[in-house]
């Protein structure tokens, strides 16, 4: 399950970042995450595996909050910005497949609260 390795590497990165803080962090309370519809990350699966990845780390017991982001594309033909239903990324207005993906690909940490 790729969500598990994703959770593990995310916690690793957060831990590394926290080690650079002046005051030592013993616990991460909450982690706010952005999940794009095209990111390939399943919210439910991520929530399920997170406690396993967090066990024994500063993120153990942390609460996760998610901001789900829709796909948004800009059409290269007609210039309209639309939100096609993933997995389709063609222009909703004219049907062209020549679109630039503006949002919906990211999976990232927006913020976290520590103690
Ligand atoms: Zn178009």
* C-alpha–C-alpha distance, residues 92 and 84, integer Å: 6
Residue that the structure tokens 């999976």 belong to: 107
Ligand 1 centroid to residue 37 C-alpha, Å: 20
Ligand 1 centroid to residue 64 C-alpha, Å: 37
Band (3; pLDDT cuts 50, 70, 90): very high
Ligand 1 centroid to residue 48 C-alpha, Å: 38
pLDDT (tens digit per residue) in 78-95: 999 999 998 889 999 999
Ligand 1 centroid to residue 99 C-alpha, Å: 8
2-69+104-114 maps to CATH 1.20.1050.10 = no
Ligand 1 centroid to residue 74 C-alpha, Å: 8
pLDDT at 1: 61
Is residue 99 pLDDT above 80, yes or no? Answer: yes
| pTM score, whole prediction | 0.85
Q: Sheet with 107-114: list strands edge to edge.
A: 63-69, 28-36, 107-114
For the chain, give every domain's residue range: 2-69+104-114
Ligand 1 centroid to residue 110 C-alpha, Å: 31
User: Quick one: average pLDDT of 57-76?
Assistant: 96
Ligand 1 centroid to residue 102 C-alpha, Å: 14
Ligand 1 centroid to residue 93 C-alpha, Å: 5
pLDDT (tens digit per residue) in 7-60: 999 999 999 988 888 888 889 999 999 999 999 999 999 999 999 999 999 999
């Amino acid at each position: 399950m790729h969500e598990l390795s994703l959770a593990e590497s995310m916690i690793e990165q957060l831990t590394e970042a926290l080690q650079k803080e002046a005051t030592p962090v013993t616990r991460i309370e909450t982690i706010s995450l952005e999940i794009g519809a095209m990111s390939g990350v399943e919210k439910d699966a991520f929530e399920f595996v997170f406690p396993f990845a967090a066990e024994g780390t500063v993120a153990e017991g942390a609460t996760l909050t998610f901001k789900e982001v829709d796909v948004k594309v800009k059409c290269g033909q007609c210039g309209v910005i639309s939100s096609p239903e993933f997995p389709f990324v063609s222009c909703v207005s004219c049907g062209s497949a020549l679109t630039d993906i503006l949002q919906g690909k990211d999976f990232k940490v927006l913020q976290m609260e520590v103690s």
